[in-house]
């Protein structure tokens, strides 16, 4: 059944006031890209230099009713906002591919946009990164297999690690018909899964209802202490015991769905506020909250070779309670370095435990009673996959300490 094709005026009736100008807005730009409801003013010359698709589009006669903004034609792209932002970042930042590691969302955007719009150089650069992780020659396959079998966990060489990366890369390869990468990608995913099938755990955040009894809110600001964490442009104040922290909703909500939902709820009329910021009382230890804020405002903290146990414990408790998933996962990875959760790693773990004269943690700062503190943390927070190793470590450590302190040594 044939129908007359008609341009839909309704889709073109959005005014500029209904759209949002992005930060990528060059005043001397010659074309405006419309993605979802966001506008990007860029240069035909820059885009066409790298894409035959856009070069051909520019050279075509434009329709009389072509929408324009400030004399620039508006081209609507039906791609994700994130992909277009990554594309424009790559086109306007010549050093971006010089980074040792690039994020997977960026690489995926280069593949999708490169194939769709014929950005050949960007596609080739992204493919080189993927081929570093998934070799396509027989010579490199042997090294790839040896390294995959030997490594305790997969650490990407050219792409920033993230949860589920091996499966994300496999999906990207399959969806974009990158056939030469498929054998290595499938092997990596299957081998990773078999190594980590015992790794799965479900950590449900303990959602708690925040109640603010009026009696507890009658304390005046003079009775409270401002902490060193006090940002003058902060938008929310956290009250812990009798200490105040002025921080940013945006920073906290970026990492926590719990606080994101709280922020979006209607606030009570008698909501206590300080300098126009709502005050939220947290019933957690002062130390745990300080560690949490230190992690949120210090992006390099997890780059340290060793972190203190109180910090790791705070990330586990606060991560589970308030749904800081990325902080929780980072802390759990540290704990799993000390207490392996796969059968393959258990053998090495047992051999090392038997051979070592005393336990020296690899990723956590040593302290008296650490093995028992880690066991308690695992039990209290339902980190079930770590319990066998944690119990063994505690029992074996206790036995060795008893022998060491006995007269038989």
Q: Which of 278, 262, 282 is nearest to 270 (CA)?
A: 278
pLDDT digits (tens, 9 = 90+) for 325-344: 999 999 999 998 888 877 77
Is the Cβ–Cβ distance between 335 and 386 less than 8 Å? yes
Q: Specify the range with the lowest mean pLDDT, choosing from 82-91, 138-147, 219-228, 366-375.
A: 138-147
Which pLDDT band, with edges at 50, 70 and 90, does 397 fall under? Answer: low
The predicted pLDDT at position 210 comes to: 37
Over residues 74-101, the mean pLDDT reads 89
Question: Measured between alpha carbons, how far is 8 from 58 in angstroms, rounded to an integer?
Answer: 22
* Greater model confidence, 196 or 366: 366
Kindly report the three-state secondary structure assignment for every residue of 208-261.
CCCCCCHHHHCCCHHHCEEEEEECCCCCEEEEECCEEEEECHHHHHHHEHHHHH
The pLDDT tens digits of the residues spanning 17-49 come to 778 999 999 989 899 999 988 999 999 988 998
Whole-number Å distance between alpha carbons of 212 and 215: 8
> Comparing 69-83, 86-100, 132-146, 258-272, which segment has the lowest mean pLDDT?
132-146
**Residue 119 β-bridge partners:** 51
Contact 399, 380 (CB under 8 A): no
Could you tell me if 361 and 370 are in contact, meaning their C-beta atoms sit under 8 angstroms apart?
yes
Can you say how many angstroms the Cα of residue 210 is from the centroid of all Cα atoms in its chain?
27
Quick one: pLDDT band at residue 409, thresholds 50, 70, 90?
very low
Local confidence band at 152 (pLDDT 50, 70, 90 cut-offs): low
3-state class percentages of the chain: helix first, strand second, coil last, to nearest 5: 55, 15, 35
Distances in Å between the Cα of 176 and the Cα atoms of 115, 168, 188, 204, 346 are: 8, 12, 18, 34, 38
CA 29 to chain centre: 33
Burial class for 198, CB neighbours closer than 10 Å (0-12, 13-18, 19+):
middle
pLDDT band per the 50, 70, 90 thresholds, residue 1: very low
Pick from 2-6, 113-117, 136-140 the range whose average pLDDT is largest.
Answer: 113-117
pLDDT above 70 (res 197): no
Residue 135 tokens read as 């070799």
What is the rounded average pLDDT of the residues 165-188? 82
13 compared with 137, residue with greater pLDDT: 137
Q: Tell me: the pLDDT tens digits for 221-231?
A: 677 889 999 99
Instruction: Tokens for 365, please give them.
Output: 């700062």
Look over the chain and give the mean of its residue pLDDT values, rounded to a whole number.
80
Per the CB < 8 A criterion, the answer to whether 281 and 214 are in contact is no
Of residues 288, 304, 286, 295, the one with CA closest to residue 255: 295
Handedness of CA 225, 226, 229, 233 (dihedral sign): positive
Instruction: Give the pLDDT band of residue 87 (cuts 50, 70, 90).
Output: very high
pLDDT number for residue 190: 65
pLDDT at position 135: 82
Phi and psi (nearest 5°) for 38?
A: -115, 140
Q: How far apart are CA 12 and CA 73, in angstroms?
A: 13
Q: Residue 244: what are its φ and ψ, rounded to 5°?
A: -105, 140
Q: Is the pLDDT of residue 4 over 50?
A: no
Report which of residues 398 and 261 the model is more confident about.
261
Quote the CA–CA distance of 316 and 331 in Å, as a whole number: 6
Sheet order of strands, 20-25 included: 20-25, 38-42, 31-35, 72-77, 68-69
Give the per-residue pLDDT at 123: 93
Task: Check residue 11 and give its pLDDT.
Answer: 47
138-170: b (≥16 Cβ within 10 Å) or e? eeeeeebeeeeeeeeebebeebeeeeebbebbb
């Amino acid at each position: 059944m044939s129908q007359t094709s008609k341009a839909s005026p309704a889709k073109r009736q959005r005014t500029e006031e209904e759209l949002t100008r992005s930060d990528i807005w060059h005043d001397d730009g010659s074309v405006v890209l419309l993605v979802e409801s966001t506008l990007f003013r860029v240069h035909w010359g820059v885009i066409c230099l790298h894409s035959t698709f856009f070069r051909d589009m520019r050279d075509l006669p434009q329709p009389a009713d072509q929408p324009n903004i400030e004399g620039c034609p508006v081209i609507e792209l039906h791609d994700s906002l994130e992909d277009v932002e990554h594309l424009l970042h790559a086109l306007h930042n010549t050093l971006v591919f010089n980074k040792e590691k690039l994020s997977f969302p960026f690489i995926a955007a280069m593949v999708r946009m490169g194939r769709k719009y014929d950005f050949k150089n960007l596609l080739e650069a992204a493919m080189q990164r993927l081929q570093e992780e998934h070799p396509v020659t027989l010579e490199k396959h042997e090294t790839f297999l040896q390294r995959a079998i030997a490594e305790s966990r997969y650490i990407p060489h050219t792409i920033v690690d993230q949860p589920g990366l091996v499966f994300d890369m496999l999906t990207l390869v399959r969806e974009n018909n990158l056939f030469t990468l498929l054998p290595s990608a499938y092997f990596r995913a299957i081998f990773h899964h078999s190594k980590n099938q015992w790794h799965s755990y479900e950590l449900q955040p303990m959602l708690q209802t925040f109640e603010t009894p009026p009696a507890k809110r009658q304390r005046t600001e003079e009775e409270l202490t401002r902490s060193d964490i006090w940002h003058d442009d902060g938008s929310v104040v956290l009250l812990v015991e009798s200490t105040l922290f002025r921080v940013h909703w945006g920073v906290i909500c970026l990492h926590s769905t719990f606080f994101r939902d709280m922020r979006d709820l209607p606030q009570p009329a008698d909501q206590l506020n300080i300098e126009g910021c709502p005050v939220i009382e947290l019933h957690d230890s002062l130390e745990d909250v300080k560690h949490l804020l230190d992690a949120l405002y210090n992006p390099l903290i997890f780059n340290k070779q060793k972190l203190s146990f109180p910090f790791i414990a705070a990330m586990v408790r606060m991560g589970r309670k308030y749904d800081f998933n990325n902080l929780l996962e980072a802390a759990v990875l540290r704990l799993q370095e000390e207490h392996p959760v796969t059968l393959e790693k258990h053998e090495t773990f047992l051999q090392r435990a038997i051979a070592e004269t005393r336990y020296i943690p690899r990723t956590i700062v040593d302290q008296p009673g650490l093995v028992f503190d880690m066991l308690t943390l695992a039990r209290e927070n339902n980190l079930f996959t770590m319990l066998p190793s944690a119990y063994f470590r505690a029992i074996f450590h206790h036995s060795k300490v008893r022998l060491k302190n006995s007269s038989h040594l």
